[in-house]
Chains A and B, each alone.
Chain A
């Protein structure tokens, strides 16, 4: 019996990473002659066969445009697409399907809110508050908004462990703050931010909050009602679904008051050259033919997570992260970057005297796939005085053997550079 199975048994019979790995065909291959150890899940996760099959089945059997045809095929496609929306609603515990907007990904969701909500509510001299931990996709749209409106971008500082300074956040929330945007989990460091508390503080001042959940939804159950988030954005491809599909959740009252973002088909009630009236939610924000197959794939990914006991999967990932943290911390040449008390999925590190890019190349030749670079989060790298880190990021299909391969790979790096 492998050590992985021993660890699995501690979590009860409900969770078995070794068994679940077999659901992900891409994991079963060699890289440079070594078994693939995929530790780049924060960039994108692998897809289970159930998701691949759902997408394939849609194209093979049900392909038609949605909300248009009177024919049976279009009815089936529409039903499948709207079923996926209903699954997302349940997944987030949102109040209504009208609050679930399908978009291309987190980036598009943030841009939608920055444009549609932002331009109506953020004016000259106002402030948008983000944090030093943000991914570029939760920085740049707000920067563009502030530039266009003559507003100011304010940034919540972090400590050396990579945790937000909540006292500074409370102070920065001022009379001119019109919007707060914060990542639920940092993609570069893995810090889990106290978004529930941050939202409560913002709401005391009637400031709405957008949460970038791209790195959260793959790891733990998110309840947008419990969080009281005004907007919640995530991508499908980091949570075992296809690329090109993502979700913007928004509170109905906010979405209803917002103007459409893009114009086109499906988002209108009626069009004449004199006046066009908008369709109801959520279609007002879904101009053009959507990524139907992607939405169906996302629905299949949610079904899959329901089947495997998502809570147990999260606990397993937590064990792996703790194990990897202990193992890497015991290597004298390794320095862990981002040591927040609350973390999920991500282990960023540097090796003395070795550039992250070289770490990435050597690990790759050992079959271990990690990310090396600034992780599209240059401000946080700069804050920590680093040009780049290597980042191992975990999914529930990773095992203790993967952690061991990472540790051995790091020893190889040290050996090459000795």
Chain B
């Protein structure tokens, strides 16, 4: 049960039940769609990119608790950040959910996103946690194609 509680933390359940930024920003100039064929989850990430800074971000779509909460919390975490800062954050997040190493000092930099550490005990759920991030990267790279986790 403790592993389950580590995965389904209160913050994650809260973002699943009440996702933030579930909208398309009025000034959105980049969109990308992500798809996880394993569970059928689909997400669209829309960003307003101002130079190299993410001025605003929102999403639409439906998915499991991990995927929805990860998307919701990502939108909160990246707003106002530069593309370079976001890339660094994704690298840390990816390490957090996939590596069995001690997360180390990087956990601090992840701030609220550190709640996803429990995902590493559930390897089949890693794709749920990273779908939004892969989709975000596609939006930043202006890739029109559907991004798939497979």
Contacts and interface: CB of A to CB of B under 8 A. Distances in A.
Interface of A: 353-358, 361-362, 365, 372-374, 378, 381, 387-388, 412, 416-417
B114 interface: no
B149 interface: no
B4 A365 contact: yes
A381 B39 CA distance: 12
B4 A355 contact: no
Contacts of A356: 39, 64
18 contacts: A355-B39, A355-B65, A355-B68, A358-B8, A358-B65, A358-B66, A361-B7, A361-B125, A373-B38, A373-B39, A373-B40, A388-B39, A388-B40, A412-B4, A416-B5, A416-B13, A417-B8, A417-B65
Interface residues of B, number: 22
Q: Considering the complex of A and B, which 6 residue pairs feature the smallest CB-CB distances, nearest first?
A: A355-B64, A357-B64, A357-B39, A387-B40, A358-B65, A358-B64
Nearest to A418: B13
B65 A372 contact: no
A372 B39 contact: yes
B128 interface: yes
A353 B16 CA distance: 9
Given A416-B8, A417-B8, A417-B13, A354 B38 contact: no
A361 B3 CA distance: 11
Interface in B42-97: 62-66, 68
Nearest to B125: A361
Contacts of A354: 65
Contacts of B7: 361
A327 B90 CA distance: 44
Given A353-B17, A365-B4, A387 B62 contact: yes
Nearest to B63: A355
B66 A365 contact: no
A138 B17 CA distance: 37
Contacts of A381: 40
B97 to A, nearest CB: 14
A361 B121 CA distance: 11
Nearest to A387: B40
Contacts of A374: 40
A417 B5 CA distance: 10
Nearest to B124: A361
B34 to A, nearest CB: 14
A77 B18 CA distance: 63
A353 B39 CA distance: 16
A387 to B, nearest CB: 4
Contact of A416 (B4, B39, B68, B124): B4
Interface in B13-47: 13, 17, 38-41
B148 to A, nearest CB: 15
